[in-house]
């Protein structure tokens, strides 16, 4: 009985450590921007109080769901299947929307 308790304690500890060390994909960037000669939706955003607003992942594309993982994540935004989406956030947003006349006016991190 004591051996079973010790094995369970070790198993639970290892499970907790793997969750604690897992990459988490919670970071995203909310941008306020203007599209000169176009519409907010042209860049994937929507009209807001500061012009156009969009929340993007590191690849500059709109965040789909709650986190920026390549696949599904646990409820904490960690251990996402395929890892986190990578890129340079703002620069990636400009790259994705090349050819559109976009001017970012404000940004805030979501961690």
Look up the pTM and report it. Answer: 0.76
On the CB side of 8, how many CA atoms lie within 13 Å of its CA? Answer: 5
Write down the pLDDT at residue 56. Answer: 98
pLDDT per residue over 13-59, tens digit each? 444 444 444 799 999 999 999 999 999 999 999 997 769 999 999 99
Token output for 98: 């090349």
Write down the pLDDT at residue 6. Answer: 52
CA distance 28 to 108: 9
| Domain coordinates in residue numbering, the chain | 24-110
According to CATH, what is the number of the domain 24-110? Answer: 3.30.70.2800
């Amino acid at each position: 009985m004591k051996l079973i308790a010790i094995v369970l304690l070790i198993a639970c500890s290892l499970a907790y450590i793997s969750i604690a060390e897992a990459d988490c994909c919670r970071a995203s960037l909310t941008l306020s921007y203007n599209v000169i000669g176009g519409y907010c939706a042209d860049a994937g955003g929507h009209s807001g109080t500061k012009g156009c607003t969009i929340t993007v992942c590191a690849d500059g594309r709109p965040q789909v769901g709650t986190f920026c993982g390549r696949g599904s994540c646990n409820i904490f935004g960690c251990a996402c299947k395929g890892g986190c989406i990578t890129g340079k956030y703002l620069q990636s947003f400009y790259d994705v929307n090349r050819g559109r006349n976009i001017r970012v006016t404000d940004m805030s991190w979501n961690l």
